[in-house]
Chain A
Amino acid sequence: GAVVSQHPSWVICKSGTSVKIECRSLDFQATTMFWYRQFPKQSLMLMATSNEGSKATYEQGVEKDKFLINHASLTLSTLTVTSAHPEDSSFYICSARDRSVRNEQFFGPGTRLTVL
C-alpha cells in the first residue's frame, strides 16, 4: 500500500515551453501533497504544499506564477512549470500524506526535467 506515482519520469523540453508533472496516490486518499525539488548533490527542498480543493502554500523564494500547482482531487496533484528555463532543470519529487498511516509522507519516484 501507500504507493505514489509520478508522470512523466523524465522530460526534455525547449526553453520557454511549459511542462506539467502529475503526482498520484494510487491506493489512498491524500488531502495533502508536497512538491520538492532536488538539485544535484543537494538536499530536497520543499517548494509548496498542496491541499485538495484549496490554493497551494508556497515556500519563500518559490514563484507561484511560475510553478502552478493544482490539487483537484484526493488522488491527484499537478505541478506545471511555466515558461521553463535551463535553470529550472532539476529533479522534482512529490509526496502524499496518508492520514491513516501515522501521517507519514510517501514519495513518488520523481521526475527529471531538462530544459534545453
Chain B
Amino acid sequence: DQQVKQNSPSLSVQEGRISILNCDYTNSMFDYFLWYKKYPAEGPTFLISISSIKDKNEDGRFTVFLNKSAKHLSLHIVPSQPGDSAVYFCAARGRFFGNEKLTFGTGTRLTIIP
C-alpha cells in the first residue's frame, strides 16, 4: 500500500522556467512533509519541509505548498537550473509513528533542459 505517491515518474523543464513536482498522500495522520533531492548512487539530500499547520514554506528558489484537504503537496522550483536535474522524493511522517520514520514517495526524475 503506497501511502505517498508521486504520479509523474519524470518531468522535463526548460532552464529558467518553473518546475512543479507533485505528491499525494493517503494517510491523514501524516503531519510533516519533506522533499529530498537524490543523485544516482548517492543518498538523498534534504531540500525543504513543511508542517501540517502551514500551507506554504519558502526557501530561496524552492517553495512547498500543502493542501491538507486534498492531501496534496507540491514543490516549486523557480527559476529552474541545470543543476536541479535529479530525482526528487517527497516524504511524510507522523507523530503516531513514535520514532518519526519517513514514508517516501516513488520519486520524480526532473530534467532541466539548457
Q: How far apart sit A105 and B46, CA to CA, in the bound complex (Å)?
A: 8
1/0 contact string of A36-66 vs chain B (CB within 8 Å)? 1000011111100101000001000000000
In the assembled complex, which residues on chain B have CB atoms less than 8 Å from the CB atom of A41?
A: 9
> Which one, B53-61, B72-80, B100-108, is touching chain A?
B100-108
Measured as residues with beta carbon below 8 angstroms from the partner, the interface class of chain A is: 20 to 34
Evaluate whether A4 and B43 lie within 8 angstroms (CB atoms) in the complex, with A43-B89, A44-B89 already known: yes
Q: How many residues of B contact A (CB 8 A)?
A: 21
Chain A interface SS verdict (over half): strand
> Which one, A12-20, A75-83, A108-116, is touching chain B?
A108-116
Contact indicator B102/A93 (Cβ below 8 Å): no
Which residue of B is nearest A9, CB measured? B41
Residues of B in contact with A (beta carbons under 8 Å apart):
2, 4, 9, 36, 41-46, 49, 89, 99-107
Nearest-Cβ distance from residue B70 to partner chain A, whole angstroms: 21
In the assembled complex, which residues on chain B have CB atoms less than 8 Å from the CB atom of A104?
A: 46, 49
Contact indicator A43/B42 (Cβ below 8 Å): no
- Asked whether A24 is an interface residue with its Cβ less than 8 Å from the other chain, the reply is no
In the assembled complex, which residues on chain A have CB atoms less than 8 Å from the CB atom of B42?
A: 109-110
Nearest-Cβ distance from residue B37 to partner chain A, whole angstroms: 11
- Asked whether A95 is an interface residue with its Cβ less than 8 Å from the other chain, the reply is yes
Which residue of A is nearest B32, CB measured? A103
- Asked whether A32 is an interface residue with its Cβ less than 8 Å from the other chain, the reply is yes
In the assembled complex, which residues on chain A have CB atoms less than 8 Å from the CB atom of B99?
A: 32, 49, 51, 57
Q: How far apart sit A106 and B49, CA to CA, in the bound complex (Å)?
A: 13
Q: How far apart sit A112 and B43, CA to CA, in the bound complex (Å)?
A: 11
- Asked whether A28 is an interface residue with its Cβ less than 8 Å from the other chain, the reply is no
In the assembled complex, which residues on chain A have CB atoms less than 8 Å from the CB atom of B44?
A: 44, 93, 107
- Asked whether A71 is an interface residue with its Cβ less than 8 Å from the other chain, the reply is no
Q: How far apart sit A57 and B49, CA to CA, in the bound complex (Å)?
A: 26
Evaluate whether A107 and B41 lie within 8 angstroms (CB atoms) in the complex, with A43-B104, A44-B89, A97-B100 already known: no
In the assembled complex, which residues on chain B have CB atoms less than 8 Å from the CB atom of A95?
A: 43
In the assembled complex, which residues on chain A have CB atoms less than 8 Å from the CB atom of B49?
A: 104
Contact indicator B45/A107 (Cβ below 8 Å): yes
Contact indicator B43/A93 (Cβ below 8 Å): yes
